[in-house]
Structures are given as structure tokens and as C-alpha cells.
Structure 1
Amino acid sequence: MGPFRRSQVGSIVLLALVAAVLLRPWERLDGGKSEPASARAYVLRAVDGDTIEVRLEGRDEDVRYIGVDTPETVKPDTPVQCFGERASHFDHRLVEHRRVRLVFGVERRDVYGRLLAYVYLGRRFVNAELVRRGLARTLTIPPNDHFAKYFKRLETGAARAGTGLWSACEP
């Protein structure tokens, strides 16, 4: 094997190792002792723009999208906010009565007991789609901040383009 071929093989091995390290979030969170870091679920309903109710392993669970915050529509004692209905409607149309993949955050539940997850419908990254379309703002709460910079870039793009809530709502 020539030096060029050895270099190519070495590069492929290095790339495979880097990919394995980057894909670690898909593993179990604590060496297999806890629930998996991702799961498939059936969406029973969209509660609002950033919360869904799912059937997960025989249980009904509320899931809060990590990293995004849509305008309020169902919060008690709070008026419906600008673009809230549109965000809720989009979420309803996109994921309701469909199977999704939930990728859980480092912190799995919020103070309300909801699961915290990045939500995927096939290859569509729902959390990101909401921000890109101007239906949500970013909301970064460590330690669940894996996509914070990505979401911020999407938010900046939506704001500059005057997309969604950036076209009609007060900041």
C-alpha cells in the first residue's frame, strides 16, 4: 500500500472515530442505567406551539420542545400572544397524530414534569423549523443548550427577513 493510500485509510478511520464521538448523545445517558436518550412516540395532540402530548411506551406524556419558545395560547391568566395561534396551528398540522422521534435533553424534565426533547418528524427538526419560520424565539436553558447557537442563527435570519412573528409582533 502506497503512502497516499495509507493516508486515505487513516483519514477514513479518523472520520469514523470523530463521528462515533459526535453521535454519543444517542447513547444512554448514564451507561445504560437510565432510559434511552431518544425514543419514538405517537403525538396525541399539539397542546400549543412548543408543547405536545405523546404516547410513549404506553404512557401519555407532555413534551416541551427544547430551545424554543412560541407565543402563549393556553397559559392560564395570560392573553393569547401575537402569532401564538399561528405557531399552535403549525405545530398541530405538522406533528399531530404522527410518529416522531424524541431526543431528550441532558436535563430530562422541567419543573412542570414535562419531558424535554428535540423533536424530529422524519428528517424534519421541528424545534428548528419553528424558529426558522419565525413562529418561535430561542430559549436557552442550560444544560439543554446543544443547539443554542444553531437556533440563534435561525432566529437572526428570520428576524432579518421579517418572517413570522418578526413581521408583526413587538419584540
Structure 2
Amino acid sequence: MAQKSRKTSKAKGSLSALVVAVILAGAYYIFSPEEDVSPSREGLIPVELVKTIDGDTIKIVYEGKETNVRYLLIDTPETNHPRLGKQPFGEEAKRRNQELINSGKLEIEFDIGQKYDKYGRLLAYIYIDGESVQEKLLAEGLARVAYVYPPNTRHLDDYEKVQNEAKKKGIGIWTLEDYATDRGFDSDTYPVKGNTSSKPESEKPSTQPTEQFANCTELRKVYPEGVKQGHPAYSERMDGDKDGVACEPR
């Protein structure tokens, strides 16, 4: 009889311990901070922001070093380009990018292709609190889908859908007819004068400056990196591969 009593007490003790464990586990999940139980999406790498450079480029700390990151699959207008200068909506894109980047947890995602471009910049998708910064810029008409180089095309279809919606709405860069092209932003069509958000001029200025060079050798003496379409020195006859950049170094 005493042995049966001991077994009953032992069983009750085990049951009590189990109940306590369940209560403690429940309390942990109820009161623990959300970030402790919500891991990042697979493939996203947390990084530290150093600064925002422009609408599609930031500087981060990656693997212990400060590195520039170029956003994959999008392009925003320039803010202070050595050849193109300031373009319409360039400042707006930079400000919006800065707002987004500083609003939460910054993470990057690589595609399956090369991780660096020819300028040594990381190529990545950018996320704040798990949401795509590229998609937000496209949705607000502050970027276009560009620089599509397979196999880095994981989110291309999604980006194009978002861009098409912005086009339909006619917002941002899509308010300027023929400004955003397959080769870049046409600065000649809408030259910036003062505020980048000013309305486009009805006609292209007849006094638009031009620079003419006999060949690429002569052009590179002045512009060693070549010139993009929209620059006064750009000429289609010196853009052999039709990529929107004339006389770029090989």
C-alpha cells in the first residue's frame, strides 16, 4: 500500500512539474520582445548603415569594412554626377531613400550572380524591417527598372509590375514625358534649373551647349570615363555598343 502511495505522489509531482514548465513557456512567448522570436527572412543579412549617397547607393559596414552598395535592378536620377550634374527628381529620390534607410532594421540580400560591379561596389537588394526599398522607390515613381544583368534577376518580375503601376499613375519620373528611357534619364529634355521638382519646360532650349570631339581618343582626354547619353559631348556614333555611354573605357 505504501509503495502504491509513493508511486501516486511521484506521478503527481511529475504532473505538477509539467504544468509549471508549460506555464513558463507560455509566459516566455507572451512577454518576450517580438524581435527575439521573429528571425529575419532567409537570405537577408543585417548590416550597419554608414551613410546614404544618393537614391540608389548607400555606404555600409560589411564584413568589418565600409563598402558602397549599389541597389540591384533599379536606377534613380543623379544628384551630383561629374558629367550629368543634377537631374530632375534626383534630390527627391535621395531624400526618400535616406528616410527609408533610417526608418528601421537594415538588411541586404545577394542574388546568385556577381556580388561586385566594376567599380568595386556591392550589388544587393535592400530591405528595411523586411520590406523592399527598391520596390518602394519604384512604387513612388522615384526609380526605374534598369541594369538588368542575368543571373541577378531574382526580383525582376515583381519590380517591373510595381514600375508599371507607377507609370499608370503618372507619378514622379513618369510625369516627365520621355525623361526615363531604356538608356537612362534624358537630362537634355528636362534640364534642371534650381529646384529639381520644378515643372518641365515646354520646349528644349535652343542654346543647349554642345561639345564635339573627332573621336573617342580626343573625348577621353577630357572625360576619361566616357559620357552618358544626355551629356553635351555624347554622340551616338561613339556609342558602339548602344548602352547609353559613349567612349567608356574597355
State the TM-score, normalized to the length of structure 2.
0.51
Residue 80 of structure 1: aligned partner: 86
| Structure 1, gaps ≥5 residues long | 1-25, 27-36
Report the equivalent of 1:63.
69
The 8 Å contact of residues 45 and 97 in structure 1, kept in 2 or not, is answered as: no
Distance 1:95 1:44 in 2: 11
Sort the Cα spacing of 1:126 and 1:38 in 2 relative to 1 into closer, same or farther, 3 A: same
Residues 12-65 of structure 1: per-residue CA shift (max 9 Å, x gap): xxxxxxxxxxxxxx5xxxxxxxxxx64211111110000000112321010111
Q: Which residue of 1 aligns with 2:237?
A: none
Decide which of 40, 46, 50 is 1:40's aligned counterpart. 46
Residue aligned with 2:61, SS: strand
Query: Which residue does the alignment assign to 1:164?
Result: 172
Contact 2:79 2:87 in 1 (8 A): yes
Determine the C-alpha separation between the residues in 1 that align with 2:134 and 2:95: 15
Check if 1:147 corresponds to 2:152.
Answer: no
Q: Which runs of 4+ in 1 moved over 4 A?
A: none
| Contact residue 104 and residue 129 of structure 2 kept, 8 A | no
Higher percent of residues as strand: 1
Unpaired runs of 5+ residues, structure 2, are 1-41, 181-250
Whole-angstrom distance in 2 between the partners of 1:65 and 1:59: 18
The offset of 1:154, in angstroms, is: 0.8
Residues 135 and 164 in structure 1, CA contact (< 8 A), matched pair in contact too: yes
**Where does residue 4 of structure 1 map in the other structure?**
none
- Residues 44 and 97, structure 1, Cα contact 8 Å, conserved in 2: no
Q: Which of the pair has the greater relative contact order for Cα pairs under 8 Å at 6+ separation?
A: 1
Equivalent residue in structure 2 for 1:113, among 120, 124, 144: 120
The offset of 1:73, in angstroms, is 1.3
Q: Does 1:130 align with 2:143?
A: no
Give the aligned partner of residue 194 of structure 2: none
Q: Which amino acid aligns with 1:162?
A: G
1:65 maps to amino acid:
Y
SS of 2:47's partner is strand
Coordinate RMSD, CA, aligned: 1.9
Counterpart Cα distance in 2 of 1:153 and 1:97: 25
Per the TM alignment, residue 98 of structure 1 is displaced from its structure 2 partner at its CA by: 5.4
The percent identity for this pair of structures is 33
How far apart in 1 are the matches of 2:44 and 2:68?
15
1:104 aligns with 2:104: no
1:42 and 1:97 in contact (8 A); partners too: no
* Paired residues of 2:107 and 2:130 also in contact (CA < 8 A): no
Amino acid at match of 1:117: A
SS at match of 1:116: strand
Task: Provide TM-score, normalisation by structure 1.
Answer: 0.74
2-structure distance, mates of 1:67, 1:108: 13
Whichever of the two has the greater Rg, that structure is: 2
- 8 Å contact 1:46–1:96 — kept in the other structure? no
Quick one: which amino acid aligns to residue 167 of structure 2? A
Instruction: State the AA in 2 paired with 1:63.
Output: V
Match of 2:218 in 1: none
